[in-house]
Amino acid sequence: MAGLFEFPHEKEEDFADLPPLIPKGTSESERDAIIDELVEAWSTPLPAELVKKIENGTTQGVTLNRVALFDAEREEPINFGDILRKVQARVELLHEESAKRCVISLRGCRIDVCQAANVEIHGRIQVFASYFSGDADFREASFSGDAGFSEASFGGDVGFRKASFGGDACFWRARFSGDVGFGGAIFGGAAEFGRASFEQDAGFWGVNFGGTALFWKVSFGGEAQFGETSFDKEARFGTAKFKNAAIFWGASFNGAAEFGRVRFGGTAEFWGVIFERGAGFEGASLRLADFHDVEAHDFRFSQASFGIDPGEITETIEEQKLMPLGWIRLLHPRRLWKGLKNLNRIYDWAKVRSISELQILTRVSYLALIIVPLLAGTWPAVRVMVNKYNRSVSEAATQFESAAEQLNAIPLGVLDEATREKLDSIDTQARQWIEDYQPKTIEKLDLPDVLGASFFAALFVVFGHLIYQLFAPELIRPRSRRLHEREARESFDDQANDRDLRLQKAMFHLGNAQTTMPWNRHKNFVHRDGDTMWLPSELDLFKVKEKKALPGTDQEDGTPDESSENSEKKGEEAFDSTLMRIAIEEGAKAEYDVEARINRGWAWVSGVFYLIASVLILWIVITQSANIGDSAGWWDSPWIEHVEEATGEIEPSVQYESEVIETPLEDELPVEDGGIGFQPLQDES
């Protein structure tokens, strides 16, 4: 959480060395003259063209710049409220239109004392980038024109209770170190609080915002109170940060309400709030949200998260600087711990059930559990049969070599041409026989690793499935989450006698899910079809106005009959069947999710067994794929293989049990024929 609610502000030391308004050694008459000159400048109407430039920000007018309201001669601060009252007294003598052209302007000043309760500012006031070192009291003050406190810093408590702002009020990037009270204030124009920071509690209870209320990127360090506040026009809280509770009890949003990407670190209480034009909470983070008795026709919660601490979503800049870059950040201890926490949150019996239904872990494993022990019992016999086969092949090869030696001893002139061709044919067949029936080798006397791994994988699957059958909840074993939802939907009848009981049961399960899984479940908000919608918590809130033909109206086109006195009568209230069915479905999902978290310790044990089996199966697949690819020659380079064959560096070999017998290449034998030992026949002549 650290770093998300830090408040940027200018240092107080920047205002400590400002020159005083009343220097040391000033007499009383000179002191009064300085203050009177300032009051006269602020109470003198400016030309209309100059006022427009001030409103546009192109000029400042008569501005008190970089001065401390302090009397160095008396060694006491000057009350800013007293100066404002003197300005008020002179401005009240002017015409109303002339009074509106009076401008009070300060820039970068230090104000130590500000007791301006009940003061009336008839013109425009702008206190830009100034520092109120003590409390600022503007209770029941009246600002007829625009009031600007942009980038002002308030070191103490600030009171604007029941203040009235006739024009626009600007507190852009203002910093409030103490408690702030705007309770009962009236903003006739726009209220700009963008990027402002409230380190302590901020009270806007019962405030009326007549214009646009802008609270975008505002930081609330303490409790933010907007109870019974009225927003007549657009209210924008986009990307604001509420570190503690945000209270909007009974607030009324008559215009569009925007809470996109807002982070509620504490409780977000919207009890009885009215959203006339809907509310947008896209991408917002609501840790603990309560929307009881909310009235709204449109809620937008796409990509919103419920129950997650804002500090878990966005890392602070300082923490990111300490982390390595790239994929190594995934191995950072903090990320690993966060990943384990998230895994522990989502893991339940429903996940175990999904794993147990995989065919590769059930039928194949059970088959291996039967076949592998049979192979283990017959494996010695297999080795004996292979060894007998090898001996037979070796004896046959010996006989062929003996026959070849005897034939070589026969003189060449004794054999005729037909016999010579017959011997060539025998030589070809013998070489083909040797190639087809090479001795088979069993390099290891033990059972192959693949068969052992498949057996233990099947064994771990059996253990995992046994624990699942013994300890999984009764609701989870026979049905999936989707099936349970469908059964609840199909069995619900909005005209049945048990309708209210079923709805109360669904609402109970939604509330139970919020208690069990507060990080991603809420009793009034559910995710459906990629969006988030609101569900009521009481039966009466399922009622909607039913549009019916009124007495005295034309039934065909619905136009009222002029003779009817009841044409203004409203339609009766009826239960919304669509909303009720959604509540039943979501209640069934919540019931299933809560049941899936019972005895989760055994779910982890079962999952560990399934995990070990999956690792063994994965090892089997990888090793056997490598062996098959090696046998097919996929891992060899075709170009290198072609060069080796051309240069004669590849030497075929024949294996007899554990010995390797090298055979000569064809180019090492006599040129005319070549073979396994038959000498080429030559004519004596």
Q: What is the pLDDT of residues 479-490, one digit of tens each?
A: 899 999 999 999
Among the listed residues 194, 153, 192, 147, the one whose alpha carbon sits nearest the alpha carbon of residue 176: 153
Beta partners for 181?
159, 203
339-364: average pLDDT: 81
Of 3-17, 220-234, 386-400, 556-570, give the lowest mean pLDDT range. Answer: 556-570
Percent share of the chain, pLDDT over 70:
69
**Which pLDDT does position 624 carry in this prediction?**
85
400 or 177, which is more confident: 177
User: Which of 163, 159, 162 has the alpha carbon at shortest distance from 134?
Assistant: 159
Task: Please give the structure tokens belonging to residue 429.
Answer: 């067949």
Checking if the pLDDT of 641 tops 80, the result is no
- Residue 109 CA, chain-centre distance (Å), reads 44
Q: Using 50, 70 and 90 to split pLDDT, how confident is the model at 175?
A: very high
Query: Helices 363-408 and 417-436: crossing angle, nearest 10°?
Result: 150
pLDDT of amino acid 115: 95
Confidence at residue 436, expressed as pLDDT on a 0 to 100 scale = 61
How far is it, in rounded angstroms, from Cα 320 to Cα 305?
22
Residue 427 scores a pLDDT above 70: no
The pLDDT of residue 201 is 96
The pLDDT of residue 311: 47
Banded pLDDT at 74 (limits 50, 70, 90) = very high
Cα 526 to Cα 90: distance, rounded to the nearest angstrom: 61
**Other beta carbons within 10 Å of 50:** 16
Average pLDDT over every residue of 454-477: 90
pLDDT score recorded for residue 243: 92
Tell the residue number behind the tokens 């192959």, with chain if given.
448
Structural contact between residues 661 and 654, judged by C-beta atoms closer than 8 angstroms: yes
Nearest to 510 by CA among 483, 543, 531, 488: 488
Report the C-alpha dihedral over residues 106, 110, 115, 119, rounded to 10 degrees.
0
In this model, does residue 230 exceed pLDDT 90?
A: yes
Q: Which of 397-406, 460-469, 581-590 has the weakest average pLDDT?
A: 397-406
**24 or 374, greater pLDDT:** 24
Mean pLDDT of 30-42: 92
pLDDT interval class at 217 (50, 70, 90): very high
Q: 472 pLDDT band (50/70/90 cuts)?
A: very high
Mean pLDDT, range 606-611, rounded to an integer: 92
**143 strand-pairing partners:** 121, 165
User: pLDDT category, 634, cuts 50, 70, 90?
Assistant: confident
660 pLDDT higher than 70: no
Average pLDDT of the chain is 78
Max mean pLDDT range (26-30, 387-391, 399-403): 26-30
What percent of the chain has pLDDT above 90? 40
d(CA 215, CA 195): 7
Max mean pLDDT range (323-327, 338-342, 419-423, 493-497): 493-497
Mean pLDDT on 225-240: 95
Dist CA 570 CA 187 (whole Å): 35
The amino acid at 573? E
CA–CA distance, 399 with 660 (Å, rounded to integer): 19
Instruction: Give the pLDDT score at 306.
Output: 66
The size of the chain, in residues, is 685
Q: Of residues 492 and 403, which shows the higher confidence score?
A: 492
b vs e for 112-124, b when ≥16 Cβ sit within 10 Å of the residue's Cβ?
bbbbbeebbbbbb
CB 151 within 8 A of CB 173: yes
pLDDT at 450: 82
Residue/partner pairs of 354-360 with CB below 8 Å, 24 or more apart: 355/464, 355/607, 355/610, 356/464, 356/465, 356/468, 356/610, 360/617
**What pLDDT does residue 8 have?**
38
**What pLDDT is stored for residue 5 in this prediction?**
32
For residue 471, pLDDT beyond 60: yes
Q: Which residues contact 425 (CB under 8 A, 6 or more apart)?
A: none
**pLDDT > 90? residue 27:** yes
Residue 378 pLDDT class (50, 70, 90 cuts): low
pLDDT band at 300 (very low <50, low <70, confident <90, very high): confident
Query: What sign does the CA torsion over 360, 366, 367, 368 have?
Result: positive
What integer pLDDT is reported at residue 381 of this predicted model? 65
Given this model, what pLDDT does residue 440 score? Answer: 55
Looking at residue 4, its pLDDT comes to 33
Q: Cβ neighbours of residue 483 under 8 Å, at least 6 residues apart?
A: none
Residue 499 has pLDDT above 60, yes or no: yes
**Which of 304-313, 532-541, 594-603 is predicted with the least confidence, judged by mean pLDDT?**
304-313
Indicate if the pLDDT at residue 278 is higher than 90: no
In this structure, what are the phi and psi dihedrals at residue 250, rounded to the nearest 5 degrees?
65, 15
Calculate mean pLDDT across residues 91-113: 90
Mean pLDDT of 215-222: 95
Segments in 176-270 forming alpha helices (H): none
| pLDDT of amino acid 318 | 41
How much is the average pLDDT of 67-86?
94
How many C-beta atoms surround the C-beta of residue 389 within 10 A?
Answer: 13
Flag whether pLDDT at 211 surpasses 90: yes
What is the mean pLDDT of the segment spanning 513-534? Answer: 78
State mean pLDDT over 225-251.
94
Residue 655 has pLDDT above 50, yes or no: no
In the predicted structure, residue 319 carries a pLDDT above the cut 50 = no
Instruction: Give first-to-last CA distance, the chain, whole Å.
Output: 106
**Contact status, residue 155 vs residue 176, Cβ threshold 8 Å:** no
- Give the pLDDT score at 517: 84
- Cα 183 from Cα 226, distance rounded (Å): 9
Confidence of residue 523 (pLDDT cuts 50, 70, 90): confident
